Amino acid sequence: RTIGDRIGEAKASGNLGNTLKILGQFDEAVVCCQRHLDISQEQGDKVGEARALYNIGNVYHAKGKHLSWNMAQDPGSLPQEVKETLQKASEYYERNLSLVKELGDRAAQGRAYGNLGNTQYLLGNFSEAIAFHKERLAIAKEFGDKAAERRAYSNLGNAHIFLGRFDISADYYKKTLQLSRQLKDQAVEAQACYSLGNTCTLLQDYERAIEYHLKHLVIAQELGDR
């Protein structure tokens, strides 16, 4: 501020916002991220503006998740305050998405689609969540980003469960399992086995369910995860 560096001030405000978000000070975080947004718009800095929109979306997303953690409800059955917070997150991600499309930034589009899928899932809009996660999946494949691809499969599996499409969920979870093994991520592999076990139970394929739950158990014991 002293040297009149507006872009520097904007970036510093954004960094403060992100740090306050991690500290769980969501309302202060929004103020700082909003300042990042205002200065970026004033300076015609489109990249900064896109980043600020994404960051504000993240703050509302984190706040919504934080508020809903205290209430063990299924996605969709949320108190009004949580719903409004997640809807705000979604709006900022939408604004970010249209700007990064304009900028032609495919990687940023991927991140926006993933987060839109997650917020819509929490809001109980499962069909919308699926559409967003499919976009996320396509971009992950485009970049050869196996970790993002694995997350997209997992999220697609979760959303299909709530629509009662258990067989489709099972297919997505199998892809999750395959990729977690490729990535040598045992914790994620265990999670995928757990999801497959539950899905097979829903499909009344109890033999398969037992197999997957036993695999989950073995990895949990290997990892010493009580």
Is residue 179 within 8 A of residue 146, CB to CB? The reply is: yes
Mean pLDDT, rounded, for 104-126? 97
Rounded CA gap, 148 and 109, in Å?
Answer: 13
Determine the pLDDT at residue 73.
66
CATH of 1-144, one of 3.40.50.150, 3.10.20.30, 1.25.40.10, 1.10.10.60: 1.25.40.10
Mean pLDDT, rounded, for 85-109? 97
Q: Where residue 75 falls among pLDDT bands split at 50, 70, 90?
A: confident
Determine the pLDDT at residue 132.
98
Q: Give the list of residues 6+ apart from residue 105 with CB closer than 8 angstroms, or none.
A: 50
Rounded CA gap, 159 and 97, in Å?
Answer: 21
Residues of the chain with CATH 1.25.40.10: 1-144, 146-225
Determine the pLDDT at residue 172.
98
Determine the pLDDT at residue 6.
95
Of 117, 118, 112, give the one whose Cα is nearest residue 97. 112
Rounded CA gap, 177 and 189, in Å?
Answer: 6
Report domain 146-225's class. Answer: mainly alpha
Provide the sign of the torsion angle of the four alpha carbons 119, 123, 128, 129, taken in this order: positive
In terms of Cβ atoms closer than 10 Å to its own Cβ (0-12, 13-18, 19+), residue 5 is exposed
Q: How far is CA 142 from the centre of its chain?
A: 19
Of 147, 120, 123, give the one whose Cα is nearest residue 133. 120
Rounded CA gap, 99 and 195, in Å?
Answer: 36
Of 139, 141, 118, give the one whose Cα is nearest residue 130. 118
Q: Where residue 69 falls among pLDDT bands split at 50, 70, 90?
A: confident
The answer, yes or no, to whether residue 74 has pLDDT greater than 80, is: no
As given in the structure block, the two tokens for residue 21 are 């978000």
pLDDT in tens, 5-17: 999 999 999 999 9
Is residue 42 within 8 A of residue 60, CB to CB? The reply is: no
Q: What percent of the chain is predicted at pLDDT more than 90? A: 94
Mean pLDDT, rounded, for 85-107? 97
pLDDT in tens, 116-165: 999 999 999 999 999 999 999 999 999 999 999 999 999 999 999 999 99
Determine the pLDDT at residue 102.
97
Mean pLDDT, rounded, for 23-33? 97
The answer, yes or no, to whether residue 70 has pLDDT greater than 80, is: no
Rounded CA gap, 122 and 106, in Å?
Answer: 25
Rounded CA gap, 101 and 171, in Å?
Answer: 31
Determine the pLDDT at residue 56.
98
Provide the sign of the torsion angle of the four alpha carbons 85, 138, 156, 150, taken in this order: negative
